[in-house]
Amino acid sequence: ACSSSSPAGAVGTLAFNNFGVAESISFATAIAQQLTGRTDPATAALISNAFAFAQQFAATQGVDFEFKPSPQELDRMIAANYAATSTSIWKFEQDDLDSSQRLIDALPPSTPRLFAEFAGTHTAPVLLDLSPADIDPRLELLLGAGERLTLGDPELVESLANDIAQWIRPGCVPYAQSKLQFLPPAAV
């Protein structure tokens, strides 16, 4: 039977990220390269230099160019104050940006944890499916009508969406079996 919603106070995370700015810069470079298909060292250097410039500029203006709270502060806050009734975590197998294990380690031992892992990287839930005319009508003239520009894996996104929908409204997604599994307090 379809229930109205997940248990009150339940929290879900998807591709949880808890890195500082310095670590995020190198990860953002890798993601930008993955999305653009430009993996040459010059592209990596250009992106990295742009972030470094922004960080230096912020410092000259007296602005702290770091996330608040810091990753370590957030871990301590979770350990001391986390009050969710349960935590569901979805991650991707090849996700270098994922900090789910840190989250699991920081959770109070009494917090029930559910975990599901899907194929893919941090950008796996990104799905774009456009006709050339959606971008520019002239592009459709160049590529032809009926062509599609697709980024992402529609089957993976549908499976993930069904899993999350099943968590939000248990029993309401026909034929969907959730991948979420309960973890013992110190697992994964």
pTM for this predicted structure: 0.75
For residues 63 and 155, is the Cβ–Cβ distance under 8 A?
no
pLDDT tens for 35-80 read: 667 777 887 788 778 878 887 888 888 887 778 899 999 999 999 9
pLDDT tens for 90-127 read: 999 999 889 999 999 999 998 999 999 999 988 889 88
Q: Phi first, then psi: give them for residue 131, nearest 5 degrees.
A: -85, 155
What sign results for the dihedral spanned by CA atoms 143, 145, 150, 155? Answer: negative
DSSP SS3 for 136: coil
Give residues with Cβ within 8 angstroms of 156, minimum separation 6: 118, 119, 120, 124, 125
Pairing state between β 128-130 and 113-118: unpaired
